[in-house]
Amino acid sequence: MALDQDIDFLGRIPTFHVIGREALRIIAISAERVHLQTGEILFEEGEPADGGYVVQAGAIVLSSARDKQRQDAVVAIPGTLIGETALIVDTIRPATATAAQPSTLLRIPRGVFLRMLEGEPGAAQALRKVIATRLEAAISELDLVAPNFAGKPETLPETG
């Protein structure tokens, strides 16, 4: 894709749509294009995460070791941002990402993303608002289910 097409594409990603064209330009210029064949692993669960990926074409299956039959696997399609948290903080990969078909992704290193935020205070402020709104929604959802866990904890069976 040409640079302007990459910028337009990134601007359609929910996390990025608020940060402005100049910030998107910085990301697009610095992103690395990654090509995977069917069955190829992008990253494995438990690995340190140093940035995020945006699926441009194809499909990526995200599965956890806890899910032996891949019933809870998630499929990331074009326009999906994988590893959003890893753009901002040190973390580990919570799942293994495997190409379900030939796929193309943009890899966005954390250092690039953080430098962009430092140089584009308007983008940083807009992104802060998006994250705050998401956090408030998550807390509200937790408040709804919290009564289900109130009361005495059940006695767990002994192991050994």
Give the C-alpha separation, 80 to 51, whole Å. 14
Q: What's the whole-number average pLDDT of the chain?
A: 89
Q: Which of 77, 37, 73 is nearest to 57 (CA)?
A: 77
Phi, then psi, of 75 in degrees rounded to 5: -110, 120
- Residue 102 confidence (pLDDT): 98
- Looking at residues 95-113, what average pLDDT do you find? 97
pLDDT at 24 over 90: yes
Q: In angstroms, what CA-CA distances link 68 with 93, 104, 152, 155?
A: 17, 26, 32, 27
Termini Cα distance of the chain: 58
- pLDDT bucket at 35, cuts 50 / 70 / 90: very high
Q: What is the pLDDT of residues 37-95, one digit of tens each?
A: 999 999 999 999 999 999 999 999 999 987 765 567 899 999 999 999 999 999 999 99
Q: Residue ranges of the domains in the chain? A: 3-145
Q: Which of 57, 41, 48, 39 is nearest to 97 (CA)?
A: 41
Q: Which residues contact residue 115 at a Cβ distance below 8 angstroms, ignoring those fewer than 6 apart?
A: 26
- Residue 159 confidence (pLDDT): 58
- Number of other CB atoms surrounding residue 11 within 10 Å: 16
CATH 2.60.120.10 applies to domain 3-145: yes
Taken in order 80, 91, 46, 68, is the CA torsion positive or negative?
Answer: negative
Q: What is the pLDDT of residues 139-158, one digit of tens each?
A: 888 888 878 776 655 555 56
- Residue 140 confidence (pLDDT): 84
- Residue 68 confidence (pLDDT): 61
- Residue 156 confidence (pLDDT): 56
Q: Position of tokens 């302007």? A: 4
- pLDDT bucket at 100, cuts 50 / 70 / 90: very high
- Residue 94 confidence (pLDDT): 94
